[in-house]
Chains A and B, each alone.
Chain A
Amino acid sequence: MNNGIRIAAPRRTRAGKLRIDCLEKNRAVPAFLGVVAGLTVLSLFFLQIDWLRLASRIPDIGSIFWKLLHFDLSRLDLIGEALLETLSITVLSTLYSLVLGLLFGMLAADNIFRVRWFSRLLKSFFTFLRAVPTPVWVLLMMVCLGMGASAGIAGLCVHTTAFFTKSFAESFESIPDETLEALEATGVGRLGIFLNAVLPSTLAQIIAWTGMRLEVNFSECAILGMVGAGGIGFVISSCIQGYEYGTAGVAIFLVFLIAYGIERVFVQIKKRIR
Protein backbone atom coordinates (compact mmCIF):
# COMPACT_ATOMS: atom_id res chain seq x y z
CA MET A 1 0.00 0.00 0.00
CA ASN A 2 1.22 3.40 -0.90
CA ASN A 3 0.41 5.69 1.97
CA GLY A 4 3.60 7.75 1.82
CA ILE A 5 2.96 11.46 1.75
CA ARG A 6 3.77 12.94 -1.61
CA ILE A 7 3.69 16.57 -2.59
CA ALA A 8 0.78 17.24 -4.87
CA ALA A 9 2.58 19.69 -7.12
CA PRO A 10 1.04 19.20 -10.57
CA ARG A 11 3.61 17.91 -13.05
CA ARG A 12 4.06 19.82 -16.28
CA THR A 13 5.60 19.06 -19.65
CA ARG A 14 8.32 21.27 -21.11
CA ALA A 15 5.65 23.20 -22.98
CA GLY A 16 4.01 23.92 -19.63
CA LYS A 17 1.07 21.62 -20.12
CA LEU A 18 -0.22 19.53 -17.26
CA ARG A 19 0.95 15.90 -17.30
CA ILE A 20 -1.51 13.15 -16.52
CA ASP A 21 0.49 9.92 -16.75
CA CYS A 22 1.86 7.82 -13.90
CA LEU A 23 4.96 8.87 -12.01
CA GLU A 24 6.43 5.36 -11.96
CA LYS A 25 6.08 3.86 -15.38
CA ASN A 26 7.50 0.66 -16.78
CA ARG A 27 9.92 2.07 -19.33
CA ALA A 28 10.72 -1.43 -20.59
CA VAL A 29 7.40 -1.67 -22.46
CA PRO A 30 7.80 1.25 -24.90
CA ALA A 31 11.47 0.34 -25.36
CA PHE A 32 10.51 -3.25 -26.13
CA LEU A 33 7.82 -2.17 -28.61
CA GLY A 34 10.30 0.11 -30.38
CA VAL A 35 12.99 -2.55 -30.62
CA VAL A 36 10.54 -5.17 -31.88
CA ALA A 37 9.17 -2.80 -34.51
CA GLY A 38 12.69 -1.94 -35.67
CA LEU A 39 13.81 -5.57 -35.78
CA THR A 40 10.71 -6.62 -37.67
CA VAL A 41 11.21 -4.00 -40.35
CA LEU A 42 14.87 -5.05 -40.59
CA SER A 43 13.83 -8.71 -40.91
CA LEU A 44 11.39 -7.94 -43.67
CA PHE A 45 14.12 -6.13 -45.61
CA PHE A 46 16.62 -8.86 -44.87
CA LEU A 47 14.31 -11.59 -46.16
CA GLN A 48 13.86 -9.71 -49.47
CA ILE A 49 10.41 -11.12 -50.03
CA ASP A 50 8.84 -10.25 -53.36
CA TRP A 51 5.44 -9.30 -51.93
CA LEU A 52 4.08 -8.16 -55.28
CA ARG A 53 4.73 -11.51 -56.91
CA LEU A 54 3.30 -13.24 -53.86
CA ALA A 55 0.19 -11.08 -53.96
CA SER A 56 -0.25 -11.66 -57.68
CA ARG A 57 -0.57 -15.37 -56.99
CA ILE A 58 -3.20 -15.08 -54.30
CA PRO A 59 -5.93 -16.23 -56.72
CA ASP A 60 -4.02 -19.53 -56.92
CA ILE A 61 -4.75 -20.11 -53.23
CA GLY A 62 -8.43 -19.81 -54.06
CA SER A 63 -8.16 -22.39 -56.80
CA ILE A 64 -6.26 -24.79 -54.52
CA PHE A 65 -8.96 -24.46 -51.88
CA TRP A 66 -11.57 -25.04 -54.56
CA LYS A 67 -9.77 -28.26 -55.51
CA LEU A 68 -9.35 -29.29 -51.86
CA LEU A 69 -13.05 -28.79 -51.29
CA HIS A 70 -13.97 -31.29 -54.01
CA PHE A 71 -13.84 -34.12 -51.51
CA ASP A 72 -12.80 -37.43 -53.00
CA LEU A 73 -14.12 -40.17 -50.73
CA SER A 74 -12.76 -43.11 -52.73
CA ARG A 75 -9.63 -43.48 -50.56
CA LEU A 76 -11.50 -43.28 -47.27
CA ASP A 77 -10.10 -46.62 -46.04
CA LEU A 78 -6.53 -45.38 -46.45
CA ILE A 79 -7.35 -42.11 -44.71
CA GLY A 80 -9.14 -43.89 -41.89
CA GLU A 81 -6.21 -46.19 -41.25
CA ALA A 82 -3.72 -43.33 -41.29
CA LEU A 83 -5.91 -41.29 -38.97
CA LEU A 84 -6.16 -44.15 -36.46
CA GLU A 85 -2.40 -44.50 -36.61
CA THR A 86 -1.90 -40.79 -35.96
CA LEU A 87 -4.33 -40.88 -33.05
CA SER A 88 -2.52 -43.86 -31.56
CA ILE A 89 0.82 -42.10 -31.94
CA THR A 90 -0.61 -39.01 -30.25
CA VAL A 91 -2.10 -40.92 -27.31
CA LEU A 92 0.87 -43.23 -26.73
CA SER A 93 3.51 -40.51 -26.98
CA THR A 94 1.56 -38.33 -24.56
CA LEU A 95 0.96 -41.15 -22.06
CA TYR A 96 4.54 -42.44 -22.03
CA SER A 97 5.83 -38.88 -21.72
CA LEU A 98 3.36 -38.15 -18.93
CA VAL A 99 4.80 -40.94 -16.80
CA LEU A 100 8.39 -40.05 -17.64
CA GLY A 101 7.65 -36.34 -17.23
CA LEU A 102 6.20 -36.85 -13.73
CA LEU A 103 9.25 -38.88 -12.74
CA PHE A 104 11.80 -36.46 -14.14
CA GLY A 105 9.76 -33.45 -13.08
CA MET A 106 9.88 -34.72 -9.50
CA LEU A 107 13.65 -35.14 -9.75
CA ALA A 108 14.15 -31.79 -11.49
CA ALA A 109 12.05 -29.70 -9.09
CA ASP A 110 14.53 -28.27 -6.60
CA ASN A 111 12.11 -28.18 -3.66
CA ILE A 112 11.43 -31.92 -3.39
CA PHE A 113 14.71 -33.78 -3.16
CA ARG A 114 16.83 -30.68 -2.64
CA VAL A 115 19.84 -31.94 -4.55
CA ARG A 116 20.65 -28.68 -6.28
CA TRP A 117 23.31 -29.81 -8.71
CA PHE A 118 21.28 -32.79 -9.85
CA SER A 119 18.13 -30.83 -10.62
CA ARG A 120 20.23 -28.18 -12.41
CA LEU A 121 21.87 -30.86 -14.51
CA LEU A 122 18.57 -32.54 -15.33
CA LYS A 123 16.97 -29.24 -16.30
CA SER A 124 19.78 -28.24 -18.64
CA PHE A 125 19.78 -31.67 -20.24
CA PHE A 126 16.05 -31.46 -20.98
CA THR A 127 16.39 -27.88 -22.17
CA PHE A 128 18.82 -29.18 -24.76
CA LEU A 129 16.49 -32.03 -25.78
CA ARG A 130 13.68 -29.51 -26.20
CA ALA A 131 15.77 -27.20 -28.32
CA VAL A 132 16.58 -29.81 -30.96
CA PRO A 133 13.80 -29.82 -33.57
CA THR A 134 11.33 -32.74 -33.46
CA PRO A 135 12.00 -34.00 -37.02
CA VAL A 136 15.61 -34.63 -36.05
CA TRP A 137 14.52 -36.87 -33.17
CA VAL A 138 12.08 -38.72 -35.39
CA LEU A 139 14.81 -39.27 -37.98
CA LEU A 140 17.19 -40.58 -35.32
CA MET A 141 14.53 -42.94 -34.01
CA MET A 142 13.89 -44.20 -37.52
CA VAL A 143 17.49 -45.32 -37.70
CA CYS A 144 16.86 -47.35 -34.60
CA LEU A 145 13.29 -48.63 -35.14
CA GLY A 146 12.86 -48.40 -38.89
CA MET A 147 10.11 -46.56 -40.77
CA GLY A 148 6.72 -46.58 -39.15
CA ALA A 149 4.64 -45.51 -36.22
CA SER A 150 7.10 -46.72 -33.55
CA ALA A 151 9.73 -44.24 -34.66
CA GLY A 152 7.08 -41.51 -34.59
CA ILE A 153 6.03 -42.35 -31.04
CA ALA A 154 9.61 -42.50 -29.76
CA GLY A 155 10.57 -39.30 -31.57
CA LEU A 156 7.62 -37.35 -30.20
CA CYS A 157 8.29 -38.76 -26.74
CA VAL A 158 11.69 -37.09 -26.54
CA HIS A 159 10.32 -33.64 -27.06
CA THR A 160 7.16 -34.18 -25.04
CA THR A 161 9.02 -35.65 -22.05
CA ALA A 162 11.36 -32.68 -22.06
CA PHE A 163 8.40 -30.32 -22.20
CA PHE A 164 6.55 -32.10 -19.37
CA THR A 165 9.65 -32.22 -17.20
CA LYS A 166 10.11 -28.49 -17.47
CA SER A 167 6.45 -27.54 -16.95
CA PHE A 168 5.81 -30.05 -14.15
CA ALA A 169 8.98 -29.02 -12.33
CA GLU A 170 7.83 -25.40 -12.55
CA SER A 171 4.40 -26.34 -11.20
CA PHE A 172 5.95 -28.31 -8.34
CA GLU A 173 8.27 -25.44 -7.50
CA SER A 174 5.36 -23.01 -7.32
CA ILE A 175 4.08 -24.78 -4.19
CA PRO A 176 4.85 -22.62 -1.17
CA ASP A 177 7.71 -23.89 1.00
CA GLU A 178 5.58 -23.59 4.15
CA THR A 179 3.28 -26.37 2.91
CA LEU A 180 6.21 -28.70 2.45
CA GLU A 181 7.73 -27.70 5.77
CA ALA A 182 4.49 -28.42 7.58
CA LEU A 183 4.45 -31.96 6.20
CA GLU A 184 8.14 -32.43 6.80
CA ALA A 185 7.55 -31.57 10.45
CA THR A 186 5.16 -34.52 10.72
CA GLY A 187 7.95 -36.84 9.65
CA VAL A 188 6.75 -37.81 6.19
CA GLY A 189 9.48 -38.88 3.76
CA ARG A 190 10.33 -37.03 0.57
CA LEU A 191 8.40 -39.39 -1.66
CA GLY A 192 5.47 -39.27 0.74
CA ILE A 193 5.41 -35.50 0.55
CA PHE A 194 5.47 -35.65 -3.22
CA LEU A 195 2.63 -38.18 -3.48
CA ASN A 196 0.41 -36.71 -0.76
CA ALA A 197 0.90 -32.97 -1.06
CA VAL A 198 2.67 -31.93 -4.22
CA LEU A 199 0.92 -34.15 -6.73
CA PRO A 200 -2.68 -33.54 -5.60
CA SER A 201 -2.26 -29.78 -5.43
CA THR A 202 -0.77 -29.56 -8.92
CA LEU A 203 -3.19 -32.02 -10.50
CA ALA A 204 -5.21 -29.32 -12.24
CA GLN A 205 -2.11 -27.84 -13.81
CA ILE A 206 -0.85 -31.24 -14.85
CA ILE A 207 -4.13 -31.99 -16.60
CA ALA A 208 -4.04 -28.62 -18.33
CA TRP A 209 -0.48 -29.19 -19.57
CA THR A 210 -1.39 -32.70 -20.72
CA GLY A 211 -4.36 -31.45 -22.70
CA MET A 212 -2.28 -28.76 -24.31
CA ARG A 213 0.40 -31.25 -25.24
CA LEU A 214 -2.17 -33.69 -26.64
CA GLU A 215 -3.28 -30.96 -29.04
CA VAL A 216 0.30 -30.16 -30.01
CA ASN A 217 1.25 -33.79 -30.50
CA PHE A 218 -1.75 -34.35 -32.72
CA SER A 219 -0.82 -31.41 -34.90
CA GLU A 220 2.76 -32.68 -35.11
CA CYS A 221 1.32 -35.48 -37.26
CA ALA A 222 2.19 -33.29 -40.22
CA ILE A 223 5.84 -33.29 -39.16
CA LEU A 224 5.86 -37.07 -38.85
CA GLY A 225 4.36 -37.38 -42.31
CA MET A 226 7.02 -35.12 -43.74
CA VAL A 227 9.87 -37.34 -42.60
CA GLY A 228 8.07 -40.60 -43.34
CA ALA A 229 6.99 -41.88 -39.95
CA GLY A 230 3.51 -42.62 -41.27
CA GLY A 231 0.14 -41.35 -40.16
CA ILE A 232 -2.25 -38.87 -41.66
CA GLY A 233 0.51 -36.30 -42.27
CA PHE A 234 2.10 -38.61 -44.79
CA VAL A 235 -1.23 -39.00 -46.61
CA ILE A 236 -1.68 -35.23 -46.76
CA SER A 237 1.81 -34.44 -47.99
CA SER A 238 1.95 -37.23 -50.56
CA CYS A 239 -1.54 -36.48 -51.89
CA ILE A 240 -0.77 -32.78 -52.30
CA GLN A 241 2.49 -33.60 -54.04
CA GLY A 242 0.68 -36.10 -56.25
CA TYR A 243 -2.09 -33.57 -57.12
CA GLU A 244 -4.76 -35.74 -55.48
CA TYR A 245 -6.37 -32.69 -53.91
CA GLY A 246 -9.72 -34.37 -53.28
CA THR A 247 -8.20 -36.98 -50.97
CA ALA A 248 -5.94 -34.42 -49.30
CA GLY A 249 -8.98 -32.22 -48.70
CA VAL A 250 -10.82 -34.99 -46.86
CA ALA A 251 -7.74 -35.76 -44.76
CA ILE A 252 -7.18 -32.11 -43.85
CA PHE A 253 -10.84 -31.70 -42.96
CA LEU A 254 -10.73 -34.73 -40.67
CA VAL A 255 -7.53 -33.47 -39.02
CA PHE A 256 -9.27 -30.15 -38.40
CA LEU A 257 -12.35 -31.86 -36.93
CA ILE A 258 -10.33 -34.01 -34.54
CA ALA A 259 -8.04 -31.17 -33.46
CA TYR A 260 -11.10 -29.01 -32.82
CA GLY A 261 -12.73 -31.86 -30.90
CA ILE A 262 -9.69 -32.31 -28.64
CA GLU A 263 -9.59 -28.57 -27.99
CA ARG A 264 -13.30 -28.45 -27.03
CA VAL A 265 -13.05 -31.49 -24.75
CA PHE A 266 -10.15 -30.00 -22.82
CA VAL A 267 -11.82 -26.60 -22.55
CA GLN A 268 -14.71 -28.44 -20.86
CA ILE A 269 -12.41 -30.46 -18.60
CA LYS A 270 -10.54 -27.34 -17.54
CA LYS A 271 -13.84 -25.64 -16.66
CA ARG A 272 -14.88 -28.68 -14.62
CA ILE A 273 -11.63 -28.74 -12.65
CA ARG A 274 -11.82 -25.06 -11.76
Chain B
Amino acid sequence: MEPILTFEQVTKHYPNGVHALQGISLSIQPGEFISVIGPSGSGKSTLLRAINQLIPISSGRVLLDGADVSAQKGRALRSTRCKVGMIFQNYNLVYRLSVLQNALHGRLGHMRGAAGIFGLYTEADKARAIALLEELGLGSFCYNRAGDLSGGQKQRVGIARAIMQDPKLLLCDEPIASLDPSSAKTIMDILRGMTKQRGIACVVNLHQVDVAIKYSTRIIGLSKGSIVFDGAPEALTDEVIERIYNTSRENLMMGGKADEEAYSANFAV
Protein backbone atom coordinates (compact mmCIF):
# COMPACT_ATOMS: atom_id res chain seq x y z
CA MET B 1 0.00 0.00 0.00
CA GLU B 2 1.12 3.58 -0.72
CA PRO B 3 2.32 5.25 2.49
CA ILE B 4 0.32 8.30 3.61
CA LEU B 5 3.38 10.00 5.07
CA THR B 6 7.08 9.68 4.40
CA PHE B 7 10.00 11.41 6.13
CA GLU B 8 13.28 11.44 4.21
CA GLN B 9 16.32 12.43 6.26
CA VAL B 10 14.49 15.31 7.96
CA THR B 11 16.56 17.57 10.21
CA LYS B 12 15.62 20.65 12.20
CA HIS B 13 17.99 23.09 13.86
CA TYR B 14 16.63 26.00 15.85
CA PRO B 15 18.44 29.34 15.67
CA ASN B 16 19.53 28.87 19.30
CA GLY B 17 21.61 25.88 18.26
CA VAL B 18 19.30 23.10 19.42
CA HIS B 19 19.20 20.13 17.05
CA ALA B 20 15.60 19.02 17.50
CA LEU B 21 15.49 16.46 14.68
CA GLN B 22 18.52 14.64 13.27
CA GLY B 23 18.07 12.73 10.06
CA ILE B 24 14.65 11.25 10.72
CA SER B 25 13.33 8.78 8.12
CA LEU B 26 10.07 6.90 8.47
CA SER B 27 6.91 6.09 6.59
CA ILE B 28 3.35 5.66 7.79
CA GLN B 29 0.62 3.52 6.20
CA PRO B 30 -3.07 4.42 6.20
CA GLY B 31 -4.91 3.11 9.26
CA GLU B 32 -1.88 2.92 11.53
CA PHE B 33 -2.11 4.19 15.10
CA ILE B 34 1.36 5.33 16.06
CA SER B 35 2.57 6.57 19.41
CA VAL B 36 5.71 8.65 19.65
CA ILE B 37 7.34 8.40 23.06
CA GLY B 38 10.48 9.97 24.45
CA PRO B 39 11.69 12.27 27.22
CA SER B 40 10.96 16.01 27.22
CA GLY B 41 13.08 17.81 24.66
CA SER B 42 13.58 14.73 22.53
CA GLY B 43 11.89 16.41 19.54
CA LYS B 44 8.42 14.81 19.71
CA SER B 45 6.61 18.10 19.33
CA THR B 46 8.89 19.27 16.52
CA LEU B 47 8.41 15.97 14.68
CA LEU B 48 4.65 16.40 14.77
CA ARG B 49 4.75 20.02 13.66
CA ALA B 50 7.17 19.23 10.86
CA ILE B 51 4.44 17.10 9.26
CA ASN B 52 2.12 20.04 8.63
CA GLN B 53 4.89 22.63 8.48
CA LEU B 54 3.81 24.58 11.56
CA ILE B 55 7.55 24.43 12.10
CA PRO B 56 9.53 24.63 8.84
CA ILE B 57 12.24 21.95 8.61
CA SER B 58 15.91 22.67 7.93
CA SER B 59 16.64 19.92 5.44
CA GLY B 60 15.21 16.69 4.06
CA ARG B 61 11.78 16.02 2.61
CA VAL B 62 8.33 15.41 4.06
CA LEU B 63 5.98 13.65 1.62
CA LEU B 64 2.32 13.71 2.49
CA ASP B 65 0.02 11.69 0.23
CA GLY B 66 2.75 11.83 -2.42
CA ALA B 67 3.22 15.63 -2.36
CA ASP B 68 6.35 17.31 -1.00
CA VAL B 69 5.07 19.40 1.92
CA SER B 70 8.38 21.00 2.77
CA ALA B 71 8.45 22.84 -0.58
CA GLN B 72 4.89 24.12 -0.34
CA LYS B 73 3.80 27.64 0.49
CA GLY B 74 0.61 29.71 0.59
CA ARG B 75 -2.51 28.13 -0.82
CA ALA B 76 -0.90 24.79 -1.66
CA LEU B 77 0.34 24.44 1.93
CA ARG B 78 -3.08 25.37 3.29
CA SER B 79 -4.81 22.73 1.20
CA THR B 80 -2.29 20.18 2.44
CA ARG B 81 -2.98 21.20 6.03
CA CYS B 82 -6.70 20.59 5.32
CA LYS B 83 -5.90 16.89 4.99
CA VAL B 84 -4.14 16.76 8.37
CA GLY B 85 -6.13 17.14 11.58
CA MET B 86 -4.34 18.26 14.71
CA ILE B 87 -5.14 18.00 18.42
CA PHE B 88 -3.23 19.98 21.04
CA GLN B 89 -2.31 19.55 24.68
CA ASN B 90 -3.91 22.90 25.57
CA TYR B 91 -6.92 22.25 23.29
CA ASN B 92 -6.24 25.57 21.47
CA LEU B 93 -9.91 26.43 21.11
CA VAL B 94 -11.29 29.93 20.68
CA TYR B 95 -12.82 30.11 24.13
CA ARG B 96 -15.23 32.95 23.46
CA LEU B 97 -16.97 31.14 20.59
CA SER B 98 -19.57 28.39 20.87
CA VAL B 99 -18.65 24.73 20.88
CA LEU B 100 -20.35 24.37 17.51
CA GLN B 101 -18.37 27.25 16.01
CA ASN B 102 -15.15 25.71 17.25
CA ALA B 103 -16.02 22.36 15.68
CA LEU B 104 -16.91 24.10 12.41
CA HIS B 105 -13.47 25.74 12.32
CA GLY B 106 -12.37 22.42 10.86
CA ARG B 107 -14.17 23.36 7.64
CA LEU B 108 -12.35 26.71 7.24
CA GLY B 109 -9.56 25.23 5.18
CA HIS B 110 -12.07 24.00 2.62
CA MET B 111 -13.74 27.40 2.22
CA ARG B 112 -12.76 30.29 -0.01
CA GLY B 113 -13.39 34.02 -0.06
CA ALA B 114 -16.03 35.88 1.91
CA ALA B 115 -17.81 32.72 3.06
CA GLY B 116 -14.66 31.62 4.87
CA ILE B 117 -14.02 35.01 6.43
CA PHE B 118 -17.55 35.57 7.70
CA GLY B 119 -18.06 31.94 8.73
CA LEU B 120 -20.99 31.19 6.40
CA TYR B 121 -20.84 27.42 6.72
CA THR B 122 -23.15 25.23 4.62
CA GLU B 123 -26.19 23.67 6.24
CA ALA B 124 -24.75 20.22 5.53
CA ASP B 125 -21.57 21.07 7.43
CA LYS B 126 -23.52 22.45 10.38
CA ALA B 127 -25.75 19.37 10.58
CA ARG B 128 -22.71 17.12 10.38
CA ALA B 129 -20.94 19.06 13.13
CA ILE B 130 -23.97 18.76 15.40
CA ALA B 131 -24.22 15.03 14.72
CA LEU B 132 -20.50 14.61 15.42
CA LEU B 133 -20.71 16.55 18.69
CA GLU B 134 -23.65 14.38 19.71
CA GLU B 135 -21.61 11.28 18.94
CA LEU B 136 -18.88 12.66 21.21
CA GLY B 137 -21.41 13.24 23.99
CA LEU B 138 -21.44 17.01 23.66
CA GLY B 139 -24.84 17.35 22.02
CA SER B 140 -26.24 19.40 24.88
CA PHE B 141 -23.25 21.75 24.91
CA CYS B 142 -23.38 22.82 21.24
CA TYR B 143 -24.31 26.40 22.09
CA ASN B 144 -22.19 26.81 25.21
CA ARG B 145 -19.05 28.86 25.22
CA ALA B 146 -16.05 26.61 24.64
CA GLY B 147 -14.38 28.29 27.62
CA ASP B 148 -17.07 27.01 30.00
CA LEU B 149 -16.33 23.32 29.39
CA SER B 150 -14.13 21.01 31.46
CA GLY B 151 -10.76 19.87 30.20
CA GLY B 152 -11.94 16.52 28.84
CA GLN B 153 -14.89 18.17 27.11
CA LYS B 154 -12.62 20.79 25.55
CA GLN B 155 -10.40 18.07 24.17
CA ARG B 156 -13.46 16.36 22.66
CA VAL B 157 -14.29 19.64 20.89
CA GLY B 158 -10.71 19.63 19.62
CA ILE B 159 -11.27 16.12 18.24
CA ALA B 160 -14.54 17.22 16.63
CA ARG B 161 -12.73 20.11 14.95
CA ALA B 162 -10.06 17.77 13.59
CA ILE B 163 -12.57 15.17 12.37
CA MET B 164 -14.62 17.89 10.62
CA GLN B 165 -11.60 18.43 8.37
CA ASP B 166 -12.11 14.93 6.88
CA PRO B 167 -8.41 14.34 7.46
CA LYS B 168 -6.34 11.48 6.11
CA LEU B 169 -3.94 11.83 8.99
CA LEU B 170 -4.52 12.91 12.59
CA LEU B 171 -1.72 14.44 14.69
CA CYS B 172 -2.14 14.55 18.46
CA ASP B 173 0.33 16.57 20.50
CA GLU B 174 0.16 15.15 24.02
CA PRO B 175 -3.64 15.06 23.96
CA ILE B 176 -4.02 13.73 27.50
CA ALA B 177 -1.17 15.46 29.33
CA SER B 178 -3.49 18.06 30.90
CA LEU B 179 -6.30 15.64 31.78
CA ASP B 180 -7.25 13.52 34.77
CA PRO B 181 -6.94 9.72 34.33
CA SER B 182 -10.60 9.04 33.60
CA SER B 183 -10.93 11.82 30.98
CA ALA B 184 -7.62 10.68 29.52
CA LYS B 185 -9.00 7.18 29.02
CA THR B 186 -12.15 8.55 27.37
CA ILE B 187 -10.11 10.69 24.99
CA MET B 188 -7.79 7.82 24.03
CA ASP B 189 -10.77 5.51 23.45
CA ILE B 190 -12.43 8.12 21.25
CA LEU B 191 -9.24 8.69 19.27
CA ARG B 192 -8.73 4.98 18.71
CA GLY B 193 -12.38 4.40 17.78
CA MET B 194 -12.81 7.38 15.49
CA THR B 195 -9.62 6.79 13.54
CA LYS B 196 -10.30 3.08 13.15
CA GLN B 197 -13.86 3.65 11.99
CA ARG B 198 -12.82 6.27 9.43
CA GLY B 199 -9.55 4.67 8.37
CA ILE B 200 -7.49 7.68 9.46
CA ALA B 201 -3.81 7.25 10.25
CA CYS B 202 -2.97 8.71 13.64
CA VAL B 203 0.27 9.92 15.21
CA VAL B 204 0.12 10.58 18.96
CA ASN B 205 2.82 12.11 21.15
CA LEU B 206 2.61 10.54 24.57
CA HIS B 207 4.33 10.79 27.90
CA GLN B 208 2.72 7.64 29.29
CA VAL B 209 4.41 4.47 28.06
CA ASP B 210 1.63 2.19 29.34
CA VAL B 211 -0.99 4.14 27.40
CA ALA B 212 1.16 3.91 24.27
CA ILE B 213 1.47 0.14 24.64
CA LYS B 214 -2.25 -0.29 25.22
CA TYR B 215 -3.55 1.68 22.25
CA SER B 216 -0.99 1.76 19.45
CA THR B 217 -0.34 -0.52 16.54
CA ARG B 218 3.20 0.81 16.34
CA ILE B 219 5.50 2.77 18.65
CA ILE B 220 8.30 5.14 17.76
CA GLY B 221 10.85 5.95 20.45
CA LEU B 222 12.61 9.27 20.11
CA SER B 223 15.73 10.34 21.97
CA LYS B 224 17.75 13.50 21.35
CA GLY B 225 16.18 14.01 17.94
CA SER B 226 16.83 10.52 16.58
CA ILE B 227 14.64 7.43 16.29
CA VAL B 228 15.95 4.77 18.69
CA PHE B 229 13.00 2.41 18.42
CA ASP B 230 10.41 1.73 15.73
CA GLY B 231 8.22 -1.31 16.01
CA ALA B 232 5.20 -3.12 17.43
CA PRO B 233 4.23 -2.49 21.08
CA GLU B 234 5.13 -6.08 21.94
CA ALA B 235 8.73 -5.42 20.95
CA LEU B 236 9.02 -2.56 23.42
CA THR B 237 11.05 -4.31 26.10
CA ASP B 238 12.31 -2.79 29.31
CA GLU B 239 15.78 -2.42 27.84
CA VAL B 240 14.38 -0.41 24.93
CA ILE B 241 12.48 1.87 27.30
CA GLU B 242 15.65 2.34 29.27
CA ARG B 243 17.46 3.33 26.10
CA ILE B 244 14.76 5.85 25.18
CA TYR B 245 14.49 7.49 28.56
CA ASN B 246 17.99 6.82 29.88
CA THR B 247 16.45 5.50 33.08
CA SER B 248 14.93 2.27 34.33
CA ARG B 249 11.29 1.40 33.85
CA GLU B 250 10.61 1.46 37.59
CA ASN B 251 11.75 5.07 37.76
CA LEU B 252 9.32 5.95 35.02
CA MET B 253 6.40 4.30 36.73
CA MET B 254 7.07 5.60 40.23
CA GLY B 255 6.79 9.29 39.47
CA GLY B 256 9.53 9.73 36.93
CA LYS B 257 9.88 12.83 34.89
CA ALA B 258 6.90 12.05 32.68
CA ASP B 259 4.51 11.66 35.61
CA GLU B 260 5.86 14.73 37.29
CA GLU B 261 5.13 16.82 34.23
CA ALA B 262 1.68 15.42 33.79
CA TYR B 263 1.12 16.18 37.47
CA SER B 264 2.24 19.77 37.25
CA ALA B 265 0.32 20.30 34.02
CA ASN B 266 -2.80 19.03 35.73
CA PHE B 267 -2.49 21.39 38.62
CA ALA B 268 -1.33 24.42 36.69
CA VAL B 269 -4.70 24.64 34.92
* A6-B141 in contact (CB<8A): yes
Q: A20-B98, A20-B104 are in contact. Are A1 and B150 (CB under 8 A)?
A: yes
What 1/0 mask marks residues of chain B from 129 to 146 whose CB sits below 8 Å from any chain A CB?
010001000011111110
Closest residue on chain B to residue A7 by CB atoms? B140
Bound Cα distance from A212 to B141, whole angstroms:
44
B140 to chain A, nearest CB (A): 5
**Shortest CB distance B239–A (Å):** 44
Task: Write out the residue numbers on chain B whose beta carbons fall within 8 Å of the beta carbon of A6.
Answer: 140-141, 143-144
Instruction: Establish whether residues B101 and A8, one from each chain, have CB atoms under 8 Å apart when the complex forms.
Output: no
Asked, given contacts A17-B123, A18-B123, A18-B130, whether A23 binds B148 with beta carbons under 8 Å apart, the answer is no
Of the candidates B121, B139, B140, B141, the one whose C-beta lies within 8 Å of that of A20 is B121
- Find the B residue at minimum CB distance from A6: B140
Known contacts: A1-B150, A8-B134. The answer to whether A22 contacts B126 by CB under 8 A is: no
Interface of chain A residues 83 through 142 with chain B (CB within 8 A):
none
Q: B148 and A8: CB pair below 8 A? A: no
Q: Is A273 an interface residue (CB 8 A)?
A: no
* Pairwise interchain contact B139-A22, C-beta atoms closer than 8 A: no
The answer to whether A20 and B150 have CB atoms under 8 Å apart is no
Whether a CB of chain B sits under 8 angstroms from the CB of A242 is no
Q: In the complex, are the beta carbons of B149 and A20 less than 8 A apart?
A: no
**CB closest chain-B residue, reference A17:** B123
Q: Is the CB of B123 within 8 A of A2?
A: no
**In residues 43-79 of chain A, which contact B (Cβ within 8 Å)?**
none
Q: Does A10 contact B (CB under 8 A)?
A: yes
Q: A18-B126, A20-B100, A20-B121 are in contact. Are A10 and B142 (CB under 8 A)?
A: yes
Complexed CA–CA distance, A260 and B75 (Å) = 40
**1/0 per position for A18-35, CB-CB distance to B under 8 A?**
111111100000000000
In the assembled complex, the Cα of A10 lies from the Cα of B100 at a distance in Å of 10
Cβ–Cβ contact B130 & A5, under 8 A = no
Contacts A8-B134, A10-B130, A18-B130 hold; do A24 and B140 have CB atoms under 8 A apart? no
Contact of B140 among A5, A21, A22 (CB under 8 A): A5
Query: Is A11 part of the binding interface, using a Cβ–Cβ cutoff of 8 Å?
Result: yes
A7 to B126, CA, bound (A): 17
Chain A minimum-CB-distance residue to B119: A20
What per-residue 1/0 map shows which CB atoms of B146-170 lie under 8 Å from chain A? 0011100000000000000000000
Contacting residues, chain A, for B145 (C-beta < 8 A): 22, 24
Which of chain A's residues have a CB closer than 8 A to the CB of B141?
A: 2, 6
CB-CB < 8 A to B144: which residues of A? 2, 6, 22-23
How many B residues, CB 8 Å from partner?
A: 22
Which A residues are CB-close (under 8 A) to B235? Answer: none
Residues of B within 8 A of A19 (CB): 143
Contact flag A22-B97 (CB < 8 Å), given A1-B148, A2-B148, A8-B140: yes
Give the residues in chain B near A23, CB-CB below 8 Å. Answer: 98, 143-144
Chain A residues with CB below 8 A from B104, complex form: 20
Give the docked Cα–Cα distance between A114 and B115 (Å).
Answer: 58
Q: Any chain A CB within 8 A of the CB of B117?
A: no
Provide the residues of chain A in CB contact with B101, threshold 8 Å.
20-22
State the CA gap A6–B126 with chains docked (Å): 19
CA–CA, A21 and B100, complex, Å = 7
**Chain B residues, CB < 8 A from A10:** 127, 130, 142
A8-B149 contact given A17-B123, A20-B100, A20-B126, CB 8 Å threshold:
no
CB–CB A8/B127 < 8 A: no
For residue A11, which residues in chain B have a CB less than 8 angstroms away from its CB?
143
A17 CA to B121 CA, complexed, in Å: 10
Chain B residues 253 to 268 lying within 8 A of chain A, measured CB to CB, are none
Interchain CA distance A6-B104 in the complex, whole Å: 21
- Docked pose: A213 CA to B35 CA in angstroms: 53
State the Cβ distance, B232 to closest chain A Cβ, in Å: 41
Chain B's closest residue to A26 (CB) is: B96
Cβ–Cβ contact A8 & B98, under 8 A: no
Q: How far is the CA of A57 from the CA of B175 in the complex (A)?
A: 59
Contacts of A24 on B, CB cut-off 8 Å? 145
Report if A22-B98 is in contact (Cβ < 8 Å); known contacts: A8-B140, A10-B142, A11-B143. yes
Q: How far is the CB of B221 from chain A (nearest CB, A)?
A: 37
Distance in angstroms between the alpha carbons of A88 and B142 in the assembled complex? 60
Residues of B within 8 Å of A2, CB to CB, are: 141, 144, 148-149
User: Could you tell me which A residues sit within 8 Å of B by CB distance?
Assistant: 1-2, 5-8, 10-11, 17-24
16 contacts between A and B (CB under 8 A): A1-B148, A1-B150, A6-B140, A6-B144, A8-B140, A10-B130, A11-B143, A18-B127, A19-B143, A20-B100, A20-B121, A21-B97, A21-B143, A22-B97, A22-B98, A23-B143
Q: List residues of chain B with CB under 8 Å of any chain A CB.
A: 97-98, 100-101, 104, 119, 121, 123, 126-127, 130, 134, 139-145, 148-150
The 3 tightest CB contacts between A and B, nearest first, are A8-B139, A23-B143, A18-B126
